[in-house]
Structure 1
């Protein structure tokens, strides 16, 4: 494990968007897989896990991103160690039965619990319209994306969440079916360039403007 920080409060409050990355910092694919293994412990609706990740860490991959990203995100695309694309998978339910059967075979759930879950949730997704499938997958994938950014801090890295791209081209450009895979977010990951100017320190709205108690 490449964990360098187990202080959750520092991970949470120390995370901020970095736009100037140190191009000399490279994250191995083994460590990236470690971080994504941690990422997929994120919660999801009905444990559907309706997400897919594409890790862009080659020059060829970055060229693809240049085709549909806005130019103001090119510094992150070009200088970060990698850009992880988070897509919602609207057809994740098609593997749902297989998932529950594997849980049953591993004795994680009883047969009754498996059948109850499949009989309850599968019909909902099989009959769902595209709007519901997209919404569900975007919520699931957003949770995973936030978790990934915190995990990156745990491993000593910085991130920048990006949505400045042509979403209609994202899946096709990366060789995915655009009807099945919905772009949710792109996250650049690496380390802040120590020679770059300081990043902007943002402020938050007062909690009193955001919270009601009933």
Structure 2
């Protein structure tokens, strides 16, 4: 039973081809391309409005130097949202439930913010490891603690995204299994359980969008400290 629950998070293969590669490419195919016309359709207009609002809110606390990241962060936001939402469809696979993929996003982007800080303002970047006014006996301990917290950041980014999506998918599958088991024996209880399943699915849709936003927001906060 345990293996059947967690099999949904195993990367599937078909004819020796890893389907995770197709799942990663698919969101970019679904997003509408920008037309050459002056007047767009409703879908592209809503998409442009959403991206503009998100990018303006994300870049608001950053300096001008951090605005170079706007295109990449907005693209990554749309990519994560699309993958998370597609993973809620039946008979689909969610690549962001794989810790290796999330760490592949988190580590290079976090490392880029650290390198930018060390290159542009090394004094301020190193100053984050030691708060101002620290007593002399506590200096070595605080430097060690701040260094550990610095290197934990990419792990926290990847694990947060993986854990939230994995927990939601497991809960949905458990409740869905309970609905099928209870339907022939206790139809009333099965209907109540199905209602809970529907509400949980709506919650998971919100979680899929919120976790993508939190991932990008934390990256922008790390960038803010180093530009």
What TM-score results when the alignment is normalised by the length of structure 1? 0.26
Structure having the higher helix fraction is 2
Structure having the higher strand fraction is 1
Q: Work out which of the two has the higher radius of gyration on C-alpha atoms and give 1 or 2.
A: 2
- Report which structure shows greater RCO (CA 8 Å, sep ≥6): 1
